[in-house]
A and B are shown apart, each in its own frame.
Chain A
Amino acid sequence: MTLNLSKNGTGMIEFRGVNKWFGALNVLKDITLSVEPREVVVVCGPSGSGKSTLIRCINGLETIRDGDLVVDGQRLGDPATNMTRLRTEIGFVFQSFNLYPHKTALENVTLAPIHVRKIPRAEAEKAGRELLAKVGLADKVNAYPAQLSGGQQQRVAIARCLGMRPKIMLFDEPTSALDPEMISEVLDVMVAVAEEGMTMMVVTHEMGFARKVAQRVVFMDAGAIVESGTPDEFFSHPKTDRSRAFLSKILRH
């Protein structure tokens, strides 16, 4: 039986006492976190704190050892949960873009809608062109990833996720691999997606983005959630020594 928690007024993404180990290393420690529909949560913390692992668990790129993780009302690891189908509802944007290099921008966007969602090709291509126009790449539909800048590739990657009409979008350090001058063009697209009411979890240190669209900032250290609060609370009045130490390091630059 699938627990239908979201209908009971609980979150779109629910972590309850989740633990994960890589060998002897406890990478996620007793994580409890609920993300409401249409909520934007920014996850930050030092390198190796488990932020990427946390969001990679949500679409099953990593598996959890114990605790409950319920996404869109379906419990992960439950035999009744069709993980492949659930993933179609979850867009995932990678730090390194991971566009398909042998496909054009438009083909990158339409591949999964056509073959996974079974949307007719003409319809998928029309939607794909609209999405590429929306991320400011109307003139690049036929370009291959190698012909695009990092910022352009990441915008195609976001359009590729949106093409599946997901309920949730996860971003794993989407601007960390970009040259500084390309960061804002990607953040602008993410802000637009957030403003349309997408449920989002974003691993990033971009405070401007967090202040603009996030309802909540979650700070992780050594696999545990140390602190969470509104962007204003967190950035202006961090409550713990660890978050203060972290913020002093990223603010100095």
Chain B
Amino acid sequence: MLENFSFRTIVEYLPLFGQGLVTTVWLSVLAFAGALAVGIVLAAMNLQRGWLFRIPAKAYIDAVRATPLLAQLYFLYFGLPRLGIILPELVVGILALSLNSGAYVAEIIRAGILSIPRGQVEAGVASGMTYVQRMRFVILPQAFKVTIPPLLGQAIVLVKDSALLSLIAVAELTRAGQLLASDRFMPAEGFITIAAFYLLLYYGLKGLAALSGRWLGLAGVRT
């Protein structure tokens, strides 16, 4: 089988893979930034005592977690134009990833905030801090540190999920592999190459996680 494996074709397509890789990286960065924003808002809503904000947040998170990302992507891709909202595929793709990943990020942040001992809140209350001050100076800095490892895990999931954007013709990494596969009828070359690139991205993020872990240790955070 390997004698038929064409490294030459892969090399020939490297510029295309390179472009795809770059696109995957920056669209993932943007989508994850969006996911963080969505997640923070949802987590804040979900932590309210009153049901007015909590119920919609819970419903949203359940809906996202219960349905396939592909369905969500198509829902936006075909649904938005029917509402008269015409957006480029890339924007729709980033939006879908942000809205999807945001639901998971929200649960990670919520768990992080709830993991902070009650005594920390009371110490802030007793010293006359307002709710916002307690969040800003006491709770969020601690919650942030405990959420970094699971957030990086979610970032890895998001990078892999971005492969689905190839289905709405976003020229990212998987799309590059598909092009090679269909142009030259070489699916093995196309998909093994993109798998290698995803592996590369994975180790990059894992390295980042290790670095952040060392930084957490230095900052004297209890683990």
Contact = CB atoms under 8 A, between A and B. Distances in A.
Interface of A: 59-61, 84-85, 87-88, 90-92, 94, 96, 98-102, 111-112, 115-116, 144-147, 160-161, 164
B119 A88 contact: no
B130 to A, nearest CB: 6
Given A59-B125, A84-B130, 17 more contacts: A84-B128, A84-B129, A88-B127, A88-B128, A92-B127, A94-B119, A94-B123, A99-B123, A100-B137, A100-B138, A101-B142, A102-B219, A112-B129, A116-B127, A116-B128, A146-B220, A147-B220
Contacts, number: 69
A89 to B, nearest CB: 8
Interface residue range, chain B: 20 to 34
Contact of B129 (A92, A115, A147): A115
Given A101-B142, A102-B145, A164 B127 contact: yes
A167 to B, nearest CB: 13
B48 interface: no
Decide if the interface of chain B is mainly helix, strand, loop or mixed.
helix
A102 B128 contact: no
A87 B126 contact: yes
Contacts of B59: none
Q: Closest 4 interchain pairs by CB? A: A144-B220, A88-B128, A112-B127, A92-B126
Nearest to B127: A112
A119 B128 CA distance: 14
Interface in B175-223: 219-222
Nearest to A108: B123
Nearest to B144: A102
B186 to A, nearest CB: 53
A196 to B, nearest CB: 20
A94 B129 CA distance: 16
Contact of B133 (A90, A94, A115, A146): A115
A146 B127 contact: no
A90 B126 contact: yes
B122 interface: yes
